[in-house]
Amino acid sequence: MSIGITIGSKSVAGSYNQAVHEDATHGRAEPGTESERTAGGGPNRAVGNALTTWLARDRSVALTIFVCALVLRAFHLHALSIHDPFYTIASVDGAVYDAWARELVAGDWRGDGVLFLGPLYPMFMASVYSIFGPSLPAVKMIQVVLGALSCVLVWGLARELFDRHIAALTGLASILYGMHVFYGGTTMIVNIQVPLVVGLAWASIRALHYPTYRGWALCGLLLGLSALARQTVLLLAPVLALWVLFGMKGDYSFGQRFAFGSTFGVVICLLVLPFTFKNYVVGDDLVLLNSTGGANFYMGNQRHADGTWQIPSIGWNVRVDNPRTMRDAFTGVAERETGRSLKPSEVSSYWQGRGVDEIRADPLKWIRLEFRKAALFVNAHEVWNNRSVEVSKRFSWVLRLPLVSLGLIAPFALLGLILTAGRWREFLPVHGAIGAYLIASLLFFVLSRYRMPATFLMLPFAAFAAFELAGLLRTRAWAPFAIRAVAIILLGFFVHLPLVNEDRMHMAWYNLGNKYRELERWDEAINAYQTSLEENPQSISTHNNIAIAFELGGRSEEAIRAWQQVEALGQRIRSARHIDRAKRHLRTLQQAAEPAPL
């Protein structure tokens, strides 16, 4: 059978049991001689032999994928350990999680109120710290293993949905997926979210095909844990529950379906509700998991929103560029505007209302914004707000390799999703998971790390489309090949539309300069700040920090000029604290420069 017919037919694009049966009956698994196939059990023995061969072969493939992914990511981590100042020092969100994990290790499980971030990642970090000590390198080494496991999981998902050839290409693409390699060297939730979500999709498909209480309990466990990482994945829960009740194939009574769905839901509740209870007892507020939803909704839908994460301008007197500062800023403004003290849920409701007001003020503009978000969701540009892969490439030769990017994956994935649309009932958990992340992006904004679980789930469909094209080319089916080739070209243009004018690279260099400054590597800090100022000459924070680096690095004359620039900028933007700080430092430097009296 030709490749074009093989991949275009449902005969090999089925589930696990279908593939085993086909391997047995079509001879692809070579289960034995003719006499072996006809003696002592006939077809059943053939299927059994095929199953043994299939499992052995797939175990070898899975192990190969795991080892290759692990080695590549280990090389990346080793390069970072030599060159990257972020390797041992947490930054922005990572710094919050690191401090939180240290509190957990010290025994402080109550915290200081309602959660404002998902609790799973600091719990993961705390578990690593309890074994290896408070070590970010240890966390990243475990993440490298989880990253390799993610590659095996998405291979297994593709093996479930399609055939072993498509699964192998999916595994190869996941090994070489550049952004996935990059995130393994960061302290971000995405490192535990990807394996949980991909595992959830695979487990859900298995549970729909072969429902058991244990299978649906596993699905509930994976979804509940994913929600503790980032609660937007809860959008998938009602989809799966309703499908179990009304759409799942098989001769099951409504009572059995209800029992399966209840098992799924109860396990989710057992994971999530303890944190709801904690929020109520410690924070005196009824919040399901965390309280940042309203602020994020406002940030993603306010009048200056462009579909990506933006540092909000809400009239706060400090830079709102990390989770704790953001929480304090949004709380402070909401309380000032309402004239009373607010609980976290009330702060969230306030900003949600502000976001709705922005939408009502110009509905057509908001509709255009939503289309833009949808396009950004599959756009080749990687929107960042903590760590930039472009800056990280200078520290890792692995990231400078010609790795797989979303710009390559997305056109094939979109075509694959279109070509397999008729099998939506079979693919519902995967479609649902991708849809949940798309809806979250439409509600809030698009970030590379937020969409990563969904883009990872697109890999099997990209591999399917690639094999579909190859099969049509091999069989010289020119008309359908031409249609699909044109579709790939058009989709390629679509995902490479210049939707983002990246004007935040100065923040990446600013963050890098801060890390060098923490390490007292003054010259490298100054170089990073200077690069940041080339991108954004008006950033007073960068001028402030380069002045400090000049001063502490013993370059007094340059420090004086830098503080004079800070003072001038402070006067221009009427920042009294920057003006006062600059004057204090200038007095100290000028007094030190004066010759001692004779």
**Alpha-carbon dihedral 64, 427, 373, 365, rounded to 10 degrees:** 180
Instruction: Indicate the pLDDT class of residue 597, thresholds 50, 70 and 90.
Output: low
Percent of the chain clearing pLDDT 90 (strictly above): 78
Look at residues 361, 242, 229, 362 and name the one whose alpha carbon lies nearest to residue 290.
Answer: 229
Domain end point (choices 448, 477, 501) = 501
Q: Residues 339, 473: one domain?
A: yes
Q: How far apart are CA 294 and CA 312, in angstroms?
A: 13
| Total domains in the fold of the chain | 2
Q: Does residue 598 belong to any structural domain of this protein?
A: no
Kindly state whether residues 58 and 72 are assigned to the same domain.
yes
Quote the DSSP letter at residue 596. P
Within this chain, do residues 383 and 512 fall inside the same structural domain, yes or no? no
The dihedral region occupied by 157, where left means phi > 0, alpha psi between -120 and 50, and beta the remainder, is alpha
Same domain for 417 and 563, yes or no, is no
Asked if residue 9 has pLDDT above 70, the reply is no
From 477, 501, 525, the end of a domain falls on 501
- Within a domain: 337: yes
Domain check: are 455 and 509 in the same one?
no
Q: Do both 430 and 533 map to the same domain?
A: no
**pTM, two decimal places:** 0.88
17, pLDDT greater than 50: no
CATH number for the domain harbouring residue 588: 1.25.40.10
What does the radius of gyration of the chain's CA atoms come to, in whole angstroms? 27
pLDDT, residue 45, reads 58
List pLDDT tens digits, range 223-271.
999 999 999 999 999 999 999 999 888 889 999 999 999 999 999 999 9
445 and 589 in a single domain? The answer is: no
Q: Does residue 394 sit within a domain?
A: yes
**If pLDDT is split at 50, 70 and 90, which confidence band does 370 have?**
very high
- Is residue 135 within 8 A of residue 142, CB to CB? The reply is no
Question: From residue 317, how far is each of 97, 203, 320, 347 by CA, in Å?
Answer: 25, 48, 9, 18
Select from 414, 408, 423 the least CA-distant residue to 161.
423
Q: What is the pLDDT of residue 368?
A: 97
More confident residue, 537 or 49: 537
Same domain, yes or no: 321 and 194: yes
Say if residues 351 and 295 touch (Cβ distance below 8 Å). Answer: yes
Do both 488 and 519 map to the same domain? no
Same domain? 170 vs 288: yes
Which of 501, 532, 553 delimits the end of a domain?
Answer: 501
Separation CA 54–CA 51 (nearest Å): 5
Give Cα separations from 37 to 27, 32, 43, 379, 575 (angstroms): 11, 6, 7, 51, 85
> How high is the pLDDT of residue 320?
66
Q: What are the pLDDT digits (tens) for 279-295?
A: 999 999 999 999 999 99
Give the span between the Cα atoms of 544 and 7, in whole angstroms.
60
The per-residue pLDDT for 592 is: 82
d(CA 94, CA 137): 13
Residues 276 and 303 in one domain: yes
Contact of 456 with 150, CB cutoff 8 Å: yes
Domain that holds residue 575: 505-593
Residues 412 and 424 in one domain: yes
For residue range 151-189, what is the model confidence (pLDDT) as tens digits?
Answer: 999 999 999 999 999 999 999 999 999 999 999 999 999
57-107 pLDDT, tens per residue?
889 999 999 999 999 999 999 999 999 999 998 888 999 999 999 999 999
